[in-house]
Each structure stands twice: as structure tokens, then as C-alpha cells.
Amino acid sequence: MAAPLGRPNMFSQVTNLHRTISQSRDICQNICRFNRLIKNVQVHGYSTFRSVSTGRKRWVTGVCAAVASSVFATGLAVRSVKALTNERPVSRSVKGIVDIGEQKFTLYQFQSCPYCCKVRATLDYFGFAYDVVEVNSVTKKQIKFSEYKKVPILVVDGKSGDSEFTLQFNDSSSIVSVLGSYVFDQTTPLTKLHTYYPGYKEKKGRKTVWDYPNKYFIMYGEFYDKKGDKPRNVSDKNANNSLTDDVRDERKWRKWTDDILMHTISPNVYRTPSESLEAFHHFSEWGEWDKNFSKFQQFFVVYVGALAMFFIGKLVKKRHNIKEDPRESLYDACDEWMEAVGTSPFLGGDQPNLADLSVYGALHSFEGCLAFNDLMSTHKVKAWYQRMEQQIYSHQGALLLKKSS
């Protein structure tokens, strides 16, 4: 089973404190150095002025030293300012095994958010490297730059020729489709794919709601005909009708994950006040909230969040016709999923597809909670879940990426 991020121990807390102190020390040192250099420039400039009369050589040396120290000082100042503004406050970096050129992925997330787990499962399966920025769910200060205020957000910093670009992809299903399209055909760059997944915002009362109409669609280019149900080129050795059925099935079950499975989670995880509190204690450790929240915020989020989610769980239960004991609805959804998987190891056949990754992400989000333990101890979904873990954490999807490049 995937090990959740470890409980932060004394050692890691001391290490973090030490890191923070040494970062501040570095910044202070840089500012001191900067001041010292400015002084040197002034002193040197003055002595240079004096030395004009004593010789051309010393004058040239003086000017060179002044210019060099100004350049060095400016560099230090820029570095210090960058460190202070901390543009991408990375919580951790995940190593990848595929080459994506001069592109860097940064995932803004909540560790236990099912939508974020879906995206992480997809990134890990394909073996992409990415940085994680854990967002403070109270202040959301890490996503202040974004008009879209939910997580996950995937930011891609890259280079195309001589110019640099930054792309922002929102919405888990949209992000998964972008990654799926990129894996399918890496000759279509992410800058182009970005234009295929537009987002539309709409005001609903005081709320701004975003819609990504193409979120379940993989961009196959010319591979399928316009209706998407027949291969465009039947002589292509990869093309056959069952493949197109698979495409439709994948789309259907990805949508099912968002519309059905997702809604069974909160009524189960926050079923009773004590289950809710236990879940929040677990999420606090898993998300390393001690790093991203102040002590007060951490306490506030755990206790107030647990109570709020208990009531929200009840609302979701009512709104989505979840059964009296929400476990039954969760098991029903997993029955339905296992029926769709059938006798193959995965819905995608011998390899997981994007629907497998989405369902895995949704279930993984509450691993460590009582609801997850109950599900795994009684339901046959466990064997599929373990197969998925094996595939994801050994980055089996990276083989597809290498094949298509």
C-alpha cells in the first residue's frame, strides 16, 4: 500500500526550523553583503577618483572593480528579493522518469482532496516529475495569483525556442485529459493543448462557477473520424472498433467517478462526529499541515473543519440520495465499478486507463480513514486497488510515453 507521508517527527520539525532560520540568515547575509558592496563601490569610486592623478592603470582597475561589484551586488539583491517573494513555495518535489524537455510541472493541491489525488495518480503513473505546492485551505495564499480559486491547479513553466511560457491548467478532469492527450501524441505541445481546454466562468449568485466543456475529451487529432466512433484510417495497425468503444467507456467512467463515486466519499468519511475528527487528524498529518498552517489555524481547521464537514456530509447525503448508512452507497458504487472492470485486470484491459486512475485517486483520498479500512476489509475492489498501486508507483504508464514519442 502506498505509504502516506510520514508523521512529522521532532527531527523533521527541527530540520524545518533550521531550514527557515538558515534561509532567513542567507537573506540577511545577502542584504549585508549588498550593503557592504555598495560601500565598497563608494569607497572604491572615491579612491579611483584619487588615483586618476597617480596612474591610468589604477583608474582602469578601479572602474572595472566598480562595475563588477555593482553587477554582483545587483545579482545578490535580485536573489534576495526572489527569496523573499517566494514565487513557488514548493512543499516537496516528486522525481519523474520521463523526459519532458524544458518544462516544469507544479501542482497546487490539498493532499487529501480526491480531485488532487486523481491528478497525482495520473502524473505518477506516467512518471512525470512535478513539484507540489500544498495550499493553505484557510487563506489559500499560495493560489492568490489565480482567478480560479479551487485546487488542483497544474502550472507548467516552459521554454519554447527563445521564449519562456507559463501555462495554467484548472480542474482535475481537464488536467487529466491534457496529460492523456500529451501522452497520446507528444508532437502536439502543451501550449497548443492549453487552447483545446478553455474554461468558462459564470456568476451564480455570489459564486463564480467554472466550466470546462472539453474536460473528458482526449485530443486524438486526426486519429478518429469526426464523430469519434470510427478509426479514421482503418489500415492503421492500432485502429480497430474495440479501441473506439474503449475510448467511449473510458470517458463514461471518468464522468461517473465525478458524478457518482465522488459524492459517496464525504458522507462516509465524515459519517459521525468522531469519524470526522479522526479523519481530520489523519489529513493533518498526511498533508503536513504543521508546515503550512500556524498552530492556531491547524487547531481551527481540524476541529471546526471536522464539525463543518460532518454537517456538509449530511447535506451531500441528502442531495445525492446516499443511503441511510452511507457505507452501502459506497459499496454499491464499488460493485458497479467492479462489474465494469469485469474479468480484466483493469477497465483499460491489461493496463489502466484514465478512468482506472480517476477511481483510484478518489479512493486513495481517504486511505487511512475508517471508511477506507471498512471498504478494503469487505469489498473485492481491494484486489483491483492493489494492482493499481503497483502500476502507479512503478510508473508503468511511462512506457506508453516512450512508445508514442
Ligand X SMILES: N[C@@H](CCC(=O)N[C@@H](CS)C(=O)NCC(=O)O)C(=O)O
**Shortest Å distance, C-beta 385 to ligand X:** 20
**Shortest Å distance, C-beta 174 to ligand X:** 8
How big is the chain by its Cα radius of gyration, in Å?
A: 26
Determine if 151 is a binding residue for ligand X (CB under 6 A): yes
Determine if 113 is a binding residue for ligand X (CB under 6 A): yes
Contacting residue, 62, 152, 180, 352, with ligand X by CB under 6 A: 152
* Options 2-10, 148-156, 373-381, 384-392: segment touching ligand X (CB under 6 A): 148-156
**Shortest Å distance, C-beta 196 to ligand X:** 17
| CA-CA-CA-CA dihedral for 2, 279, 337, 329, to nearest 10 | 160
Determine if 269 is a binding residue for ligand X (CB under 6 A): no
Nearer to ligand X, 269 or 398 (CB): 269
Nearer to ligand X, 174 or 244 (CB): 174
Q: How many residues bind ligand X (CB under 6 A)?
A: 10
Determine if 150 is a binding residue for ligand X (CB under 6 A): yes
Determine if 115 is a binding residue for ligand X (CB under 6 A): yes
Look up residue 40 and give its three cell numbers: 565598497
* Options 144-152, 245-253, 280-288, 341-349: segment touching ligand X (CB under 6 A): 144-152
Nearer to ligand X, 171 or 367 (CB): 171
Determine if 171 is a binding residue for ligand X (CB under 6 A): yes
Nearer to ligand X, 98 or 151 (CB): 151
Contacting residue, 110, 169, 182, 283, with ligand X by CB under 6 A: 110
**Shortest Å distance, C-beta 333 to ligand X:** 17
Nearer to ligand X, 127 or 152 (CB): 152
Would you say 208 and 233 are in contact if contact means Cβ atoms under 8 Å apart? no
**Shortest Å distance, C-beta 27 to ligand X:** 32
**Shortest Å distance, C-beta 381 to ligand X:** 22
Determine if 134 is a binding residue for ligand X (CB under 6 A): no
Nearer to ligand X, 317 or 395 (CB): 317
Residues in contact with ligand X by CB under 6 A are 110, 113, 115, 149-152, 171-173
